[in-house]
Amino acid sequence: MDRNVNKAGKTSAIVSYLTIVGALIAFSMNMEPKNEFARFHIRQAFGIHLLYISIAILLGFFQNIYAYYGFWIFSFVLWIYGFTGALQGRKTIVPLVGNLFQKWFKFIQ
């Protein structure tokens, strides 16, 4: 991938991992001009944030502290994996769910 494309979209990619609001801000930052690198990381970050929120709501009904800790560690590892990829300027798919995020969130252009 061209280094100029990575540098141009790197800011949007990094912002997308901060919070779900950051992902929405990065989405709007990437509207014009569209950057493939930023789009890739916005999809990954948006998926990680939605996964975290949905499973946290689901685990709220069961009140199992061990399941919560395991889920939190899993989400944190996914977040670190994606965030470091954005910082390094690489398109690295997060393990297990990254390909699904790219397929499900094709509306993010």
The answer to whether residue 80 sits within a structural domain is yes
The answer to whether residue 98 sits within a structural domain is yes
Domain count for the chain, please give it.
1
The answer to whether residue 68 sits within a structural domain is yes
- Note every long-range contact of 78-84, with CB atoms under 8 Å and residues 24 or more positions apart, other chains counting: 78/48, 78/51, 79/17, 79/48, 82/17, 82/41, 82/44, 82/45, 82/48, 83/14, 83/17
Phi/psi-derived region of residue 28, left when phi > 0, alpha when psi is between -120 and 50, beta in every other case: alpha
The answer to whether residue 51 sits within a structural domain is yes
Q: What is the pLDDT along the chain (109 residues), one digit of tens a residue?
A: 555 556 668 888 898 899 889 888 888 888 877 888 888 898 899 999 999 999 888 888 888 888 888 888 999 999 999 999 998 888 888 888 888 888 887 777 6
Q: Are 89 and 7 in contact (CB under 8 A)?
A: yes
Containing structural domain, residue 74 = 3-104
The answer to whether residue 109 sits within a structural domain is no
The answer to whether residue 38 sits within a structural domain is yes
